[in-house]
Every structure is written in C-alpha cells, then in structure tokens.
Amino acid sequence: MEQNVFEEMAKRYDTEERMELAQIVAEEVKKELQDSTSQTLIDYGSGTGLVSLALTDMVESTLLIDSSEQMVEVAKSKITQRGIDNATVLYSDFTQGSPEVKADIVLMSLVLLHIPDTKQILQELNSILHNGGKLIIVDFDKNETISHPKVHNGFVHEELKEQLSEAGFTSTEIRTFYHGERIFMKKDASMFIAVSMK
C-alpha cells in the first residue's frame, strides 16, 4: 500500500518535462564525473533523484539531500525499487545549518535559484567538501523576462564566479550548455554548468 503512495507522489513531481530536463542535466554532469568511481557524491536539493540516480554508477556512493520530506521519501522508494545499493537519502535543509556530512563532489541542480542567500549556501557547500573537492552547479543563465519574489531569475557567470571565489573555491569554470523552450517559469531559457574546485 505504502509503495503506491510514493509512486503517486513521484508521478506528480516527475512530470515529463522535468524528466526530460533532468536527463539533459545528467548527461552534462556525467562529463564532469569521468574517473570519479572512488568518490562520494552529495546531491543537494535532490528532489526525487531524477538527476543523481542517473549518476550512481559513476561514483562510489551518492547521498541525496532535500529539505522536502516527501521528495526524500519518493527518492528512497526509487532507490529500493531499482535495487541501487550505493545511494542513500537525508532529509535536511542546509540553510538551517549543515549536518555533519562530507563528500568529494557536491551537485546542485536547479536549486540555487530557490535559495535566497546565495553566499551562505555556497559557504555551507564549501564546508562539506573535502579539500580538492568539486562543486557542480547547474542552473539558469540570467533571464530578465522572469520576475518572481521567491526565485532568482538566473545567474550572471561573472557574478557567480565572484561569489564562489568569496565562498572559498579556488577556481571555477562556467559554460552554457543548453537552450530550451519554456523551461524556466514557462519562458525560453538557457542552462549553465559551473564546476568549482575547493
């Protein structure tokens, strides 16, 4: 009975559009995970695991963290159903202080735009990375046509680089890799991937 509840929830969250976008993101992130089979990955703001559960075979272990208990439960049921033995979930919100977790790689896909204090979250993420670790951010390029009180309207590469540097990252490479129709608040938008080293 309980399994069905989570399947229903997953259907609500995992719309076709989200699944397609997640696949595009996962393919791009895979390029950054070559030779990472001995490394640990944290997917912060993992949602139902659409992106990171497509990456589990490229790393030693994956920890999915989200501040929505429902999302975490959906991700957990997917892990069980698919018999993935190197992925676990954690219900947590780093904006309320970060738990005692450490990783070699932290992934944050389409999450930064939802966090009001960019600076604080980047510092938190820096603190959970091992030295020499890598932060991978996928998000939207700045889009002036979007205005929403709760969401950043994307990011300017140079400004984000500066914020990452202030948060303690030594180097950052950013590139736009995808342009899509109606993918950001029903507007056409482009996505970038930023890779920062600690």
CATH superfamily of 2-197: Vaccinia Virus protein VP39 (3.40.50.150)
Q: Which residues of the chain have pLDDT under 50?
A: 1
Residue entry with tokens 């919100």: 93
**Phi, psi angles (nearest 5°) of residue 152:** -65, 145
Residue 79 to residue 72: CA distance in whole angstroms: 11
pLDDT at res. 120: 93
Percentage helix, strand, coil for the chain under 3-state DSSP, each rounded to 5: 40, 30, 30
State the pLDDT at residue 166: 98
Predicted confidence at residue 3, as pLDDT, reads: 59
| 135 within 8 A of 126, measured Cβ to Cβ | yes
Per-residue pLDDT, 144? 94
Torsion angle (degrees, nearest 10) of CA 103, 162, 141, 134:
-20
Distance separating alpha carbons of residues 152 and 143, to the nearest angstrom: 9
Residue 4: per-residue pLDDT: 67
The pLDDT, as a whole number, for residue 98 is: 65
If we measure between CA atoms, which residue out of 176, 163, 95 comes closest to residue 135?
163
Cα three-residue angle 92-93-99, rounded to 5 degrees: 60
Residue 190: strand pairing partners: 179
